[in-house]
Amino acid sequence: MPDPRGLGTSTLQVCLILSLRYVIPAVCQCSGSSLTLSTTNDFQYFTTPGYNNGAGSYQSDLSCSWILDGGSSSWTVFLFVENYDVSCSGDFIDIYDGNATSSTALVTALCGTSQSGVYASTQRYVRVDFTSDSSNQGAGFSLAFMKAADLSGSGCSGEETLAASSTPQYITSPNFPGEYTVNSNCRWVVTAPIGTVSLEIIFSDVETSTNCAFDSLELYSGTYVCEKTKILSACTPHPNGVTASYTSNGTSFLVKFAADASLSFRGFVIKYSEIAPVVTTSSSAVVSSISSEGDFYLGLYIGLGSGAGGALLFVGMITLIRHFCMSQKGVSPNVKHVEPLSLRSTPSTRNNSICGSSSSSGDSTTRQKSFLCSTPISPGSGSLMLDIQRRKSSHHNNGFVH
């Protein structure tokens, strides 16, 4: 089938660009034409055709070219060949400090099986060429690249405070992507105004030593240098440099970098941003938003109906309780007589009408055997009187016991 762009299918190869660990397919021409790739502050990756994470192989007789663009004269290009498996019988990688083969070579005829060192351009572009012959193909290579500049700010002349935001920002060692300055003593305090700080070391290349006594990259929780809050002390060169992500417990991280008077390396790149706090609300304190006017009135009617039903139930309960309390109380089996209110006019009337009539019977035996007497429950407190049957005591010969 003819190629719609006028190219033969034998000259059109498919390569992969890996950005932020995601594979993005792209088309590259491995027939002498170059593919230009834009750089970002984070590492991106591209591979030779057929690489397949090192498990595949490239084709024979390839001539591939990539131009890496830093975007402007303010940025350079920083890169390294992450892994490569290139037959040295006639296959090789060339990297140039510029966009043409006439530019200064950063490395030529790179082949074999290994990981490369790191390379940096002195200007906006880098050119990467790959050539294969007709025999002995290897897996190919994966190459990491990013745009680069010295983003150390004022942190190496005094402690610098940086405000994190939702937009990622970057800190680098002094003179990055070149080798860091000897006798460096740098500090940056990264603070989130309202949330926490997300911090990621995306590249590090620091001189190694016991207990990081020579050069070191250190990370602390908070705003002070303190052994109890130290999170990290790194001093490992590329390709084994520390790469890791951290989230602050509070609102700040302190980054500290120190170098002695000898042996400089590439240093580090740190990305940081703010993680906004998660706002939680209590259902008892916040009314849910009404999605529509109909939902509002439906909720209003249900609320009013529930409130009215509860009120009626409460009033009914109170009414029943009052009715029970106001009804006639049950009379004790010991109560013989309930005095009407009309009989409480005077003490003499009360005694004559209830107790006095029993004394005129003339039967002293009957009088001594039993008699009735009314005694108030509490003086002057109401009309209810108790008639209590008592036996006359042998030492009371006359009168009544009240």
pLDDT of residue 114: 87
pLDDT of residue 323: 56
Domain assignment present for residue 353? The answer is: no
Residue 128 shares a structural domain with residue 186: no
pLDDT of residue 313: 64
Supply the range of the domain harboring residue 133.
35-148
**Which of residues 275, 291, 311 is at a domain's end?**
275
Residue 132 shares a structural domain with residue 176: no
- Mean residue pLDDT of the chain comes to 76
Residue 178 shares a structural domain with residue 130: no
- Collapse the DSSP code of 247 into the 3-class scheme (helix H, G, I; strand E, B; otherwise coil) and give the result: strand
Residue 165 shares a structural domain with residue 144: no
Give bridge partners of residue 45 from the DSSP assignment: 18, 144
When computed from its CA atoms, the radius of gyration of the chain, rounded to whole angstroms, is 49
Residue 130 shares a structural domain with residue 190: no
Distance CA 106, CA 99 (A): 12
- Collapse the DSSP code of 229 into the 3-class scheme (helix H, G, I; strand E, B; otherwise coil) and give the result: helix
**Which of residues 275, 293, 311 is at a domain's end?**
275
Is 339 in contact with 384 (CB distance < 8 Å)?
A: yes
Domain assignment present for residue 331? The answer is: no
Indicate which CATH number applies to the domain containing 108. Answer: 2.60.120.290
The total domain count for the chain is 2
Residue 78 shares a structural domain with residue 143: yes
Residue 144 shares a structural domain with residue 188: no
Residue 267 shares a structural domain with residue 247: yes
Domain assignment present for residue 300? The answer is: no
pLDDT of residue 281: 67
Distance CA 264, CA 241 (A): 14
Residue 92 shares a structural domain with residue 168: no
| Closest-CA residue to 262 (of 214, 326, 298) | 214
Domain assignment present for residue 401? The answer is: no
pTM of the model: 0.65
Residue 176 shares a structural domain with residue 231: yes
- Collapse the DSSP code of 134 into the 3-class scheme (helix H, G, I; strand E, B; otherwise coil) and give the result: coil
**Which of residues 222, 240, 275 is at a domain's end?**
275
Domain assignment present for residue 79? The answer is: yes
Domain assignment present for residue 328? The answer is: no
Residue pLDDT tens, the chain, 402 long: 433 333 333 334 444 444 444 444 344 568 768 999 999 999 999 999 999 999 999 999 999 999 999 999 999 999 999 889 999 989 999 999 999 999 999 999 999 998 878 999 999 999 999 999 999 999 999 999 999 999 999 999 999 999 999 999 999 999 999 999 999 999 999 999 999 999 999 999 999 999 999 999 999 999 999 999 999 999 999 999 999 999 999 999 999 999 999 999 999 999 999 999 887 765 544 444 444 455 545 454 555 555 555 555 655 665 665 555 554 444 444 433 333 434 444 444 444 444 444 444 444 444 444 333 333 444 444 443 334 344 444 444 444 444
Domain assignment present for residue 298? The answer is: no
Residue 114 shares a structural domain with residue 179: no
Domain assignment present for residue 193? The answer is: yes
pLDDT of residue 91: 96
In angstroms, what CA-CA distances link 200 with 43, 77, 119, 217, 245? 12, 20, 22, 13, 4
Residue 97 shares a structural domain with residue 120: yes
pLDDT in tens, 135-174: 999 999 999 999 999 999 999 999 999 999 999 999 999 9
